Amino acid sequence: MGQQDLPRADGPPPMLPWPLALLALSACCRWGVASGAGGTAPQQHAAPATPSSSSSSSGRAPLDWLLTDRGPFYRAQEYVDFVERYRQGFTTRYRIYREFARWKVNNLALERKDFFSLPLPLAPEFIRNIRLLGRRPSPQQITDSLIKKYGTHFLLSATLGGEESLTIFVDKRKLSRRAEPAGGAGNSSGVSLETLHQLAASYFIDRESTLRRLHHIQIATAAIKVTETRTGPLGCSNYDNLDSVSSVLVQSPENKVQLQGLQTVLPSYLRERFVAAALSYIACSSAGELVCHRSDCRCQCQPTFPRCNCPEADVQALESSLAQLLRAWESHHSQFEESEEFQALVKRLPGDRFLNRTAISHFWATDLDVQHRYQQLGTSLKLLARKTHRLIRRLFNLSKRCRRQPHFKLPKERSLPYWWSRAQSLLYCSETTVPGTFLEESHSCTCPPDQPSCQGSIPCALGEGPACASCAEDNSTRCGTCNHGYVLTQGFCRPEVADSLEHYLGLETDLQDLELKYLLQKRDSRIEVHSIFISNDMRLGSWFDPSWRKRMLLTLKSNKYKPGLVHVMLALSLQICLTKNSTLEPVMAIYVNPFGGSHSESWFMPVNEGSFPDWERTTVDASAQCQNWTLTLGNKWKTFFETVHVYLRSRIKSLDDSSNETIYYEPLEMADPSKNLGYMKINSLQVFGYSLPFEPDAIRDLILQLDYPYTQGSQDSAMLQLLEIRDRVNRLSPPGKTRFDLFTCLLRHRLKLANNEVARIQSSLRAFNAKLPNAVEQETGKLCS
């Protein structure tokens, strides 16, 4: 690389601004130019697509793919020029150029000061301005006297260079293959490629004559287009006109312009003030003074410029850029929605059934084209998002001292579920030119304001539970068939409900708790269930020695006397009388048999255990010491009963003086009647409740439909009714961790079914119940064998 220093004498004043310094340096013309390509032979540069460049009959079609924006190279000026010429018909480019070597330019005045300790050759005008400032000038005086005249920096060193080139675009189809006549002066109408080669080779030898002939050929034949480009060192005598300073600098990474602050040539007492004034001039544009506090710098505005801290033009430019990015963001989404891949996916979606977002996601997952197109959209949006965030940070930094907040809108992210919903909208809300928005929760469309109705026909939804099993063939918006446990009603699937049980078993009652309590207090005969009293140990109304356990029962014998009724117990009452001064206390154990059978199929009543009620005693006859013992079950603890077993025992009651508690002792066996502790008498034993209608033959016919169904619907209906009977019967089971299976007792003892038949019915009911929606199978304990 050639290099030559500036001459020492009469150098340019170093305090000039660096662009002026460069121009002053270029005017001296005292350095040489080393040609890096002197006498370079002409070079032919073909078009990027060789086949099209060599063939004149192929037309423009093969190079059409080049005419799209495909990266930074395709935005280069040379390529843009080539594309423009190609569109005009030129198919070949010839280019000849030579590049000048780099020149390193140094400021000789500073070198003389540093190495030889000589004073700087400052201009007299510059020295006079410094003296006029005085020792304590204001920032405004420094700005007016120095900065506005001489700038803030001067040139320390720079790298210069350049090139000269000739470019000829050729349309071979318009050139003649005949050789140009000898000594051609441009009078011939035919020009060959050889002529162009010779003219290009002679460009650096005889520039004026070569250009004159090339321009003549360009005008005469319109087969060529000549472009001349020259950039080079400033002030060289072999150039007629000069380009801008930026064109002189060789564009390579290692080259740069090095500047020096003007304060280095000022007296020491002015340097700090000059730096402060220069910073205020640059940062505040002479509208205020730059003030810094703890790394936070701002402009202290002058009264005439109250908004100097707010670069309004820059803020508005950033807001405009953000708005443009937002439009680009929306444009990318619109292009994706209108893309062939997305539209093909929407057309491929089936229309014979309703598709929710999950179903559409499955089709999306199998479409590789739309996934690839969506990835391209994501890549473009990431670039826009990064640029948006960068501009937003700059906007906030610039507008933090503005009086108004910046105005911008963040781009809205659109995830995969959005595009699945968009596909739904295009399927079901596109009856108008502008599609609406589909709402899956309500199965409806929200249409644009200017479109009153955009909703099309929405097919029925297939699925489990209340959804359709299939859509109707004549009307896809309605269900054709329903799932198990649902019935088709007017095109919709409704939960199948058991028919009324009035013909089989009446389980309804209108007795409320307060009414029941009042009737029990009055011992109303309307709620008394008349039963048969049986006991081998005692008789009603007779005194007996209670030293031994007494067994008694009340039974209904419904199968014999009342086959059409089942009975519900609401309360149990005994009237017990004791002799005077008796120390006996009755203790009763109650067992209830719900529908008959042996005593082993009875359950024990947990009196006064947990929340179960206790006996209530009411004195009837004080002289005879008679009391009514009543156990009230009410609606909460009511239960079926066929037989009630009562086991009566007695205990001795005494008072412990130390603890003031009642202590019970079992009576001893006494052979001496004179030592008897008292006698007891049972005047009455009653069961209060009500009877329900019961049709065993109708229930048997219902069970027969499980094995001999007339239609599938009748079998399901019979199953639902039996399930309802089973659940409602077992609901009156006695309290406990596990409820007893009273329905099996009903089948065994009131319908007289065999064990294997009962087991088959229960198994069928469990299997049917498992298929129902929201099915819950209650665990029950075995009571009847």
Q: pLDDT digit string (tens) for 745-765?
A: 999 999 999 999 999 999 988
Strand intervals (E) in 251-315: 258-261, 288-293, 296-301
What was the pLDDT predicted at 322?
A: 94
Is residue 409 predicted with pLDDT exceeding 50? Answer: yes
Query: Across-strand partners of 729?
Result: none
- Section 52-64 average pLDDT: 40
Is residue 106 predicted with pLDDT exceeding 80? Answer: no
Q: How confident is the model at residue 393 (pLDDT cuts 50, 70, 90)?
A: very high
Strands 468-471 and 739-740: unpaired
Q: How far apart are CA 296 and CA 307, in angstroms?
A: 18
Q: How far apart are CA 108 and CA 106, in angstroms?
A: 6
What was the pLDDT predicted at 161?
A: 65
Q: How far apart are CA 486 and CA 466, in angstroms?
A: 7
Spell out the SS3 assignment of 119-156. CCCCCHHHHHHHHHHCCCCCHHHHHHHHHHHHCCEEEE
What was the pLDDT predicted at 245?
A: 41
What was the pLDDT predicted at 533?
A: 92
Q: pLDDT digit string (tens) for 136-148?
A: 999 889 999 999 9
What was the pLDDT predicted at 629?
A: 92
Q: How confident is the model at residue 343 (pLDDT cuts 50, 70, 90)?
A: very high
What was the pLDDT predicted at 180?
A: 45
The pTM of the whole model exceeds 0.75: no
Is residue 387 predicted with pLDDT exceeding 90? Answer: yes
Higher pLDDT, 17 or 298: 298
Residue pair 212/72 in contact by the 8 Å Cβ criterion: no
- Section 257-271 average pLDDT: 87
**Across 232-241, 325-334, 624-633, least confident range:** 232-241
Long-range contacts, stretch 216-222, CB < 8 angstroms, 24+ apart: 216/186, 217/186, 217/191, 220/186, 220/189, 221/174, 221/175, 221/189, 221/191, 222/171, 222/174
**Across 18-32, 398-412, 586-600, 722-736, least confident range:** 18-32
Is residue 669 predicted with pLDDT exceeding 60? Answer: no
Residue pair 231/163 in contact by the 8 Å Cβ criterion: yes
Q: pLDDT digit string (tens) for 687-710?
A: 998 888 888 888 888 888 887 765
Is residue 234 predicted with pLDDT exceeding 60? Answer: no
3-class DSSP assignment, residue 88: coil
Q: How many CB atoms lie within 10 A of CB 50?
A: 9
What was the pLDDT predicted at 190?
A: 63
Which are the contacts of 701, defined by CB distance < 8 A and separation ≥ 6? none
DSSP string, 178-198: SPPPTT--S--S---HHHHHH
**Across 448-452, 738-742, 765-769, least confident range:** 448-452
DSSP string, 615-674: -EEEEEETTTTEEEEEEE-HHHH-EE-SEEEEEEEEEEEEE-TTT--EEEEPPPP-S-GG
- Section 731-742 average pLDDT: 87
What was the pLDDT predicted at 236?
A: 39
**Across 125-129, 444-448, 772-776, least confident range:** 772-776
What was the pLDDT predicted at 489?
A: 83
Strands 780-781 and 739-740: parallel
What was the pLDDT predicted at 187?
A: 44
What was the pLDDT predicted at 284?
A: 83
Long-range contacts, stretch 56-59, CB < 8 angstroms, 24+ apart: 56/91, 56/172, 56/173, 57/173
What was the pLDDT predicted at 416?
A: 93
What was the pLDDT predicted at 375?
A: 94
Q: How confident is the model at residue 682 (pLDDT cuts 50, 70, 90)?
A: very high
Q: How far apart are CA 440 and CA 422, in angstroms?
A: 11
**Across 381-395, 668-682, 728-742, least confident range:** 668-682
**Across 141-145, 519-523, 667-671, least confident range:** 667-671
Higher pLDDT, 473 or 1: 473
- Section 659-665 average pLDDT: 54
Residue pair 358/417 in contact by the 8 Å Cβ criterion: no
Q: How confident is the model at residue 667 (pLDDT cuts 50, 70, 90)?
A: low
Q: How many helices (H) and strands (E) does the chain have?
A: 23, 28
Q: How far apart are CA 417 and CA 781, in angstroms?
A: 50
Q: How far apart are CA 668 and CA 675, in angstroms?
A: 10
What was the pLDDT predicted at 739?
A: 87
- Section 608-622 average pLDDT: 87
What was the pLDDT predicted at 449?
A: 86
- Section 274-293 average pLDDT: 86
Higher pLDDT, 27 or 194: 194
C-alpha of 140 from chain center:
58
What was the pLDDT predicted at 90?
A: 79
Q: Which of 5-19, 33-47, 97-111, 539-553 has the highest mean pLDDT?
A: 539-553
Q: How confident is the model at residue 499 (pLDDT cuts 50, 70, 90)?
A: low
Is residue 728 predicted with pLDDT exceeding 50? Answer: yes
Average pLDDT, the chain: 78
Cα-based distances in Å from 780 to 237, 733, 736: 115, 9, 10
What was the pLDDT predicted at 19?
A: 32
- Give percent above pLDDT 90 in the chain: 26
What was the pLDDT predicted at 716?
A: 79
Is residue 1 predicted with pLDDT exceeding 50? Answer: no
Query: Across-strand partners of 640?
Result: 568
What was the pLDDT predicted at 645?
A: 94
C-alpha of 256 from chain center:
51
- Section 334-347 average pLDDT: 94
Spell out the SS3 assignment of 575-629. EEEECCCCCEEEEEEEEEECCCCCHHHCEECCCCCCCCCCCEEEEEECCCCEEEE
Q: Which of 152-156, 317-321, 619-623, 705-709 has the highest mean pLDDT?
A: 317-321
DSSP string, 31-58: S---BSSTTPPPEEE--SSHHHHH-SSS
What was the pLDDT predicted at 654?
A: 58
**Across 4-13, 261-270, 287-296, 616-625, least confident range:** 4-13
Q: How far apart are CA 281 and CA 286, in angstroms?
A: 5
Q: How confident is the model at residue 560 (pLDDT cuts 50, 70, 90)?
A: confident
Cα–Cα nearest to 167, from 75, 250, 92: 92
Any idea which residue has 């370079």 for tokens?
40
Strands 153-170 and 92-106: antiparallel
**Across 47-61, 121-135, 372-386, least confident range:** 47-61
What was the pLDDT predicted at 476?
A: 85
- Structural domains of the chain in order of their starting residue, each with its CATH number: 18-47+91-266 (no CATH), 267-306 (no CATH), 312-423 (no CATH), 513-692 (2.60.120), 696-781 (no CATH)
Q: How far apart are CA 782 and CA 785, in angstroms?
A: 7
What was the pLDDT predicted at 757?
A: 92
Q: How far apart are CA 279 and CA 153, in angstroms?
A: 12
Strands 528-529 and 616-621: unpaired
Q: How confident is the model at residue 713 (pLDDT cuts 50, 70, 90)?
A: low
Query: Across-strand partners of 292?
Result: 297
